[in-house]
Structure 1
Amino acid sequence: MTSVENGVLILHTEQDDLLSGIQAAGQIIADSDRFAFVYLAENEEEYVYLYLEEPMWQDLKSALEKGMPVMARGTERTLELHQFQEELQYLVENIQGNGNYGDEMVAKVEAVFFH
């Protein structure tokens, strides 16, 4: 679920423990099998994956177009997703027309971000 508060796109999660003790890594990768973007965060031991699946892509596109900051929010914790704009813009441009991501992923990204 997403919402916009004071010009910030909020990505809501009930997994508050997921946000505990992590820092934004400032990188987004694609998971073509799940049709998702994955924002990387990290704790002292490992990466933590924040999945941004297809149903929220329209909200991500809107945040890109409006230059909104993006935050993940649990019930008690909030994490600003640093470099979100730059990373997502770069990734969707890289996916556009690039069969390496799989035809279906390319088609889905193009349908949302380039139409």
Structure 2
Amino acid sequence: MNKRITITKANFLNSKLNLYVSESISGLSPAEQILVDSKEFSFVYLLENLEGYTYIDMKEPIWPCLKKVLEQPIPVWILFEDEQWELTNFYEELSELITNIRGNSNYGAEMVTKVEEIF
């Protein structure tokens, strides 16, 4: 069964972006893929296990942090208490998505506008 987890806090520490969640990420591993949820104005990083995917929602309030990652590529980590994973292939996936969204009405006018304003 697929599950959604929202980022509760983001900060830069020790040359990496830390994304904090309020639910366990134990047993999950990075799927190295980012999707777009145009209705929720969110980028969605996939974590996976044998049962399916867990969607990590990166909603608009943390986009300025994501922009900094694109300007100066640094590792992005997801954390819950003592659990942590590096979100591998993050820069490449996000960079490609931003390029594809700009001026592309397939993502919806409001999503395109929001992405163009921040990125």
Q: Give the TM bin, normalised by the shorter chain.
A: over 0.9
- TM-score (ref. length: structure 2): 0.91
Q: 2:51 aligns with which of 42, 45, 50?
A: 45
- SS of residue in 2 equivalent to 1:78: strand
> Structure 1 runs of 4+ off > 4 angstroms?
none
- TM-score (ref. length: structure 1): 0.94
The aligned residue for residue 69 of structure 1 is: 75
| Aligned residue identity for 1:86 | E
Q: 1:92 aligns with which of 78, 88, 98?
A: 98
Correspondence list, 1:1-115, <5 A: 1-15=9-23, 17=24, 19-113=25-119
Write 1 or 2 for the structure with the bigger share of strand: 2
Please give the alpha-carbon distance, in whole angstroms, between the structure 1 residues aligned to 2:78 and 2:19.
Answer: 5
Q: Over aligned residue pairs, what C-alpha RMSD do you find?
A: 0.6
Identity of aligned residues (%): 45
Structure 2 stretches lacking a partner, 5+ long? 1-8
Structure 1 stretches lacking a partner, 5+ long? none
The number of residue pairs the alignment matches comes to 111
Write 1 or 2 for the structure with the bigger share of helix: 1
